[in-house]
Chain A
Amino acid sequence: MRLSRLIALTYLALLLLVPVGLVLYRTFEPGVGAVYDSVTTPAAISAFTLTLFIAAVAVPLNTVLGILTALVLVRGRFRGKAVLEALVDLPFAISPVVVGLSLVLLYGRGGWIDLPFQVIFSVPGMILATVFVSLPFVAREVAPVLREVGDEQEQAAATLGASRAQAFWRITLPALRWGIAYGVVLSTARSIGEFGAVSVVSSKVAGSTNTLTLLVEQRFQNFDLAGAYAASALLAVIALVTLLAMTRLRPRKEGAG
């Protein structure tokens, strides 16, 4: 028991804790003032705003359609259900770079779809990429809860004269709330942290198409290590908040069924 604990904890420390701790230490080594200055430059503020904007579009879209997808997958009976299920999971397994490439091929110059506004190397493409990579989270979290909750309460409501809409809003949705919340946390974290897919479809112009993760890479490539650390620290704080939310929500989600 002692040995297994020692090995497991050493492994986690060397892989997770020490590196993350060191980055935070290095970040704040020059002082909090320098970090503050670094994350409040116009370029950093614009990157932060764009990151939040993209998440604010992608997450609600994926939440509403994710709930709908879960309903269809759990309750629907139709041919090709297995195919649809596999397609929903696909974004988990596809390389972010391939996601970016596929959008370039679809919406870029000479692509299949020609929209009247610019998609690739612009914000709409970055939103599309983010929606793609964070697509399965809500559906994947809601589906098991939905399966477990069953439909007896809804049927009871129906026999008591509730309409479909009433049963959905008053019975189904409240039962799913922790599963939805967990899915929203995961997809928000992924939206904010996405790098590869967004990197392919962004022109990476500071002040207009840079997200926080792109800013980290850009500063690193420009040998502005302190600046890269500062932007990373900001993202790490968001990650820690995410982690806290996940830890808080997990027991409620699991207790829901």
Chain B
Amino acid sequence: MSTPAATAPRPAHPAPSRRAAARAARAGGAGPLALGVVTVWISVLVLLPMAAVVAKSTEGHFWTSVTSRQAIDALEFTLGVSLLVAAINAVMGTLVAWVLVRDQFRGKGIVNALIDLPFALPTIVAGLTLLALYGRNSPVGIDIAFTKGAVLLALMFVTLPFVVRAVQPVLMELDVEMEEAAASLGASGLATFRRIILPNLVPAILSGAALSFARAVGEFGSVVLISGNVPFDTQVSAVYIFKQIESDNPTGAAAVSVVLLALSLAVLLLIRVLERVRSRNAA
């Protein structure tokens, strides 16, 4: 295998074995230079800014900043509403995915495309949009602007696609024969769903719900208009951080940011574990 690709750039490896040569070829385009460039890029762009936040948070009294009444109230509300949103998504997202995969009706393609709308629509527009229907000048007479319900609604909007898009492919690949076997053995529709289908979907539902949770915890754009930002009531952590930056309290902002950051990391880790479980099940 004396190809130019395998021999030219590696003087450090004398007489490469077949396997080493194959490995070198596999690394095509991902040599040490590429690794270096990517490492620098990610470090400067992601790692360094995050390090600056963590460093800043330790300058003041971290614990005092995080446990100030306003910060705690915002954190509690953010976590509570995000958990609720994740739960709602787990149920409704699964249902929507189910209808999109198993049901047949006209316009299904359009509905399927619409699911991604919250990803495509800028968050500030999403907030304004919900405010038009469920705000002061609501044509249907529902005014929930500046309430906790409004925050919940905004978060439901922006996180809608996560569970649907996680469950859909799993549902498509699911073997119908198992269900038919269960039905032929006398299982009811509900029992088949609970015993056969649901267990197969659980990892996908959980990872979609975890993504919704992570997104909800940090959400800002869609919430900022509709929440009215009432401290101790409808203020979420992201808006709290924004207000602290505006009122020149970067230490306090950084402290709460670190809490959100830790949460994000934990959720990312959880999703990674879930994906590993899923791929092991598939194998």
Contact = CB atoms under 8 A, between A and B. Distances in A.
Interface of A: 1, 4-5, 7-9, 11-12, 15-20, 22-23, 26, 65, 68-69, 71-72, 74-78, 84, 86-106, 111-112, 128, 131-132, 135, 151, 154-155, 158-159, 161-164, 167-168, 172, 186, 189, 192-196, 199-200, 212-213, 216-217, 220, 228-229, 232, 235-236, 239-240, 242-244, 246-247
Contact of B50 (A16, A65, A90, A193): A90
Contacts of B261: 94, 98
A131 to B, nearest CB: 6
24 contacts: A1-B103, A19-B134, A20-B117, A22-B139, A23-B125, A23-B132, A78-B35, A87-B47, A97-B242, A101-B254, A102-B50, A102-B257, A131-B45, A135-B45, A155-B22, A158-B4, A158-B5, A167-B5, A192-B122, A195-B220, A229-B128, A239-B125, A246-B113, A247-B113
Contacts of B55: 105
A19 B134 CA distance: 8
B64 interface: no
Given A4-B103, A158-B25, A239-B121, A101 B245 contact: yes
A107 B173 CA distance: 49
Contacts of A167: 5, 28
Contacts of B119: 186, 189
B282 to A, nearest CB: 14
B54 to A, nearest CB: 9
A99 B52 CA distance: 11
B240 to A, nearest CB: 9
Contacts of A228: 128
B125 A164 contact: no
Contacts of B115: 12
Interface of B: 1, 3-6, 9, 22-23, 25-30, 34-35, 37-39, 41-42, 45-50, 52-53, 55-56, 92, 95-96, 98-100, 102-103, 105, 111-125, 128-130, 132-134, 139, 153, 156-157, 160, 214-215, 217-221, 224-225, 237-239, 241-242, 245, 250, 253-254, 257, 260-261, 264-265, 267-269, 272
Contacts of A69: 38, 41-42
Given A8-B96, A95-B218, A159-B1, A195 B122 contact: yes
B46 A106 contact: no
B253 A101 contact: yes
Contacts of B257: 95, 97-98, 101-102
Contact of B220 (A7, A91, A95, A189): A95
B156 A97 contact: no
Contacts of B225: 217, 220
Given A18-B133, A102-B52, A192-B122, 10 more contacts: A20-B117, A75-B28, A90-B265, A95-B217, A102-B53, A186-B119, A193-B124, A196-B123, A199-B242, A243-B116
A80 to B, nearest CB: 9
Contacts of A131: 45
B128 A8 contact: no
A103 B5 contact: no
A247 B119 CA distance: 13
A82 B117 CA distance: 31
Contacts of A75: 26-30
B49 to A, nearest CB: 3
Nearest to B95: A8
Contacts of A84: 38-39, 42
A194 B122 CA distance: 6
- Point out which of A7, A78, A102, A168 has the most chain B C-beta atoms below 10 A from its C-beta: A102
Given A19-B129, A19-B133, A159-B3, A105 B49 contact: yes
Which 8 A-B residue pairs are closest in the complex by CB-CB distance? Answer: A95-B218, A193-B122, A102-B49, A196-B220, A93-B264, A195-B221, A239-B120, A75-B30
B39 A239 contact: no
B121 A235 contact: yes
B132 A5 contact: no
A79 B249 CA distance: 39
B90 to A, nearest CB: 14
Contacts of B45: 128, 131-132, 135
Contact of B28 (A20, A94, A154): A154
A155 to B, nearest CB: 5
A4 B118 CA distance: 22
A96 B218 contact: yes
Contacts of A193: 120-125
Contact of B238 (A196, A236, A239): A196
B220 A97 contact: yes
